[in-house]
A and B are shown apart, each in its own frame.
Chain A
Amino acid sequence: MRSLTEEETKVVFEKLANYIGRNITFLIDNPESPYVFRLQKDRVYYVSEQIAKFATSVSRSNLMSLGTCFGKFTKTGKFKLHITSLNYLSQYAKFKIWIKTNGEMPFLYGNHVLKAHIGKMSDDIPEHAGVIIYSMNDVPLGFGVSAKSTQEARNLPPTGIVAFRQGDIGEYLREEDTLFT
Chain B
Amino acid sequence: MGRRAKNKQGVPPSYEEFQAEKNKKDHKRKRSQETVDKPVKKSKAEIPKVKKSKKRQEDIEEEPKDLPQVDLEELSSARKSLFDESEEEEEELNDEFDIEGGEDFQDSDEEVHTKPMFSDDDEDEDELENLNAENMEAYSKQLDEEDEIEAEEAEQELIEGDLKQPRAKVLPTAEEEEETKGQPKDITMIRTRMLEIIKVLENFKELAEEGKSRTEYTTRLIQDICDYFGYSEFLAEKLFNLFSPSEAMEFFEANEIARPITIRTNTLKTRRRDLAQTLVNRGVNLQPIGKWTKVGLQIFDSQVPIGATPEYLAGQYILQAASSFLPVMALEPQENERILDMAAAPGGKTTYISAMMKNTGCVFANDANKARTKSLIANIHRLGCKNTIVCNYDAREFPKVIGGFDRILLDAPCSGTGVIAKDESVKVSRTEKDFMQIPHLQKQLLLSAIDSVDANSATGGIIVYSTCSIAVEENEAVVDYALRKRPNVKLVDTGLTIGKEGFTSYRGKHFNSKINLTRRYYPHTYNVDGFYVAKFKKIAPSPHDISKAGAKEKENAARLELEEEGIIHDDFADFNNDEDKELIEKSKKYSMKKKGINPNL
Contacts and interface: CB of A to CB of B under 8 A. Distances in A.
Interface stretch (A3-11, A21-29, A50-58): A50-58
Nearest to A170: B313
Interface of A: 47-48, 50-51, 54-55, 57-59, 62-69, 84, 87, 104-105, 108, 135, 137, 139-141, 169-170, 172-173, 176-177, 179-181
Interface in B354-390: 362, 364, 370, 373-378, 380-382, 384, 386-390
Contacts of B375: 176
Given A54-B362, A54-B402, A64-B373, A173 B390 contact: no
The 6 lowest CB-CB distance pairs between A and B, nearest first, are A169-B313, A65-B390, A84-B381, A180-B377, A64-B390, A57-B402
A67 B380 CA distance: 9
B428 interface: no
B258 to A, nearest CB: 23
Given A63-B391, A104-B310, 8 more contacts: A58-B401, A58-B402, A59-B401, A62-B393, A63-B389, A64-B370, A64-B390, A180-B378
B338 interface: yes
A54 B389 contact: yes
Contacts of A65: 373, 377, 380, 388-390
A69 B386 CA distance: 9
Contact of B374 (A47, A108, A176): A176
A180 B362 CA distance: 20
A139 B378 contact: no
B378 A66 contact: no
A62 B313 contact: no
6 contacts: A64-B390, A64-B391, A68-B386, A172-B382, A181-B370, A181-B377
B163 interface: no
A64 B378 contact: no
A105 to B, nearest CB: 8
B311 A58 contact: no
Contact of B314 (A69, A140, A177): A140
A135 B310 contact: yes
A87 B384 contact: yes
Contact of B373 (A137, A172, A177, A181): A181
Contacts of A176: 374-375, 378
A10 to B, nearest CB: 24
Contacts of A169: 310, 313-315, 382
B313 A172 contact: yes
A176 B391 CA distance: 18
Nearest to B373: A64
A108 B310 contact: yes
A55 B370 CA distance: 18
Contacts of A64: 370, 373, 376-377, 390-392
A172 B378 contact: yes
Contacts of A66: 388-390
B387 A58 contact: no
Contacts of B388: 65-67
B308 interface: yes
Contacts of A59: 401
A139 B374 contact: no
Contact of B391 (A62, A87, A105, A135): A62
Given A172-B382, A180-B374, A181-B374, A139 B311 contact: yes
A58 B391 contact: yes
Nearest to B393: A62
Given A57-B401, A65-B377, A181-B377, A173 B313 contact: yes
Contacts of B373: 64-65, 181
Interface string B41-78: 00000000000000000000000000000000000000
Given A62-B391, A66-B388, A141-B314, A51 B378 contact: no
Nearest to B282: A101
A48 B386 contact: yes
A55 B389 contact: yes
A65 B350 CA distance: 14
Interface in B418-469: none
A179 B374 CA distance: 9
A147 B541 CA distance: 63
A143 B180 CA distance: 69
A173 B123 CA distance: 82
A137 B310 CA distance: 12
Nearest to B359: A48
Contacts of A105: 310
Contacts of A87: 384, 386
Contacts of B402: 54, 57-58
A50 B362 contact: yes
Contacts of A179: 378
Interface string B294-321: 0000000000000010110111100000
Nearest to B311: A139
